[in-house]
Amino acid sequence: MKNSLPYFLAFLIFCYFHPAFAEDSPEAVFQKWNDASRQGNVDGVLDLSSARSRKEADDDLKMGMNRQAMVEILKAMAPDNVKILKQTTSPDGKKTSLFVEGSMQDFFTMKGGKPKKELEKGEVQMLKENGLWKLDKQCWGGDGRCEKEDKGERIAHGKKAPLKKGTSFWTQKGKAGDFSSVKLKGNPYVVDLHFQGSDENPTLSYMLHHSPSFADFYLKVGDQKVTPSAFIEDFEKKEVKVMEASTSYSRSRSIQQTAIVSLLFDVAKDLKGTKTLWVKFTVAEQDYWFQVGE
């Protein structure tokens, strides 16, 4: 018994300086995830990600994204100087959100040939899977909350949505014939995005990506996310751009009149369900999210 006290004290000291669950806390998992992302450690990121996120990454690779491109994207999207502002947890303890701020790369503002770093607010959503916290989703920009992005303002095709600076946005079904040069595996689904400008000449910014993980414009058919396969931005030349799996297409331009972006989706023939278009873009530094139903 006389040796039990020192051992017990040693155990208490160990527990004091090494909290039993601290390394598994949501904050710690996010920090590990962010460190792995900054290092381009794909396996480390996937190990700390939710099942849904891992599936999206697997889909990216299946769609042709090479592993090195994924490494570069992870490095570019990792925030610096992250500060956790607050945390909320669901009543069942299985979902938590970290509200944070950090320096993110603004791919629409270049400085010295590289994206400029901007202080942004964000929400990091985490899920508890098999007793462990896993990162499920991050939302950055605006008020730093996923609520708008998760829901999006609902509009119908053809209905105009007013935006800042006297601008507006609407969609309409496009013509598959405009993309006749693109080889498809499934059925074509084309949507034209209309951005009406104004005399104030505001800046429109958006990013196109073929990856389900990074796409800001995508089609949901049931629960399946379908990303664009090709797009047209210049309707005078009708130049079709087939999207490469490992390439981000960032755009930023002033709009005084109407700018049109036409998107081609390759929908698998056996994919059934209601089609909903999800879009995210920025006008005059204001973020917008819409879900457009048929």
Average pLDDT over residues 235-247: 82
Distance of alpha carbon 71 from alpha carbon 64, whole angstroms? 14
Give φ, ψ of 41 to 5 degrees. Answer: -85, 90
Residue type, 1: M
In this predicted model, which residue has the larger pLDDT, 15 or 281? 281
Model pLDDT, residue 13? 36
Distance of alpha carbon 293 from alpha carbon 264, whole angstroms? 16
Task: Check residue 100 and report its DSSP letter.
Answer: E
Percent pLDDT > 90 in the chain is 50
DSSP string, 241-255: EEPPTT-EEEEEEE-
Which domains, ranges and CATH numbers included, belong to the chain?
Answer: 4-149 (3.10.450.50), 152-293 (2.60.40)
Model pLDDT, residue 285? 86
pLDDT tens per residue across span 249-260: 888 889 988 999
Distance of alpha carbon 232 from alpha carbon 93, whole angstroms? 46
pLDDT tens per residue across span 17-47: 434 344 589 999 999 999 999 898 989 999 9
Question: Is pLDDT of 192 > 90?
Answer: yes
Rg value, the chain, Cα = 22
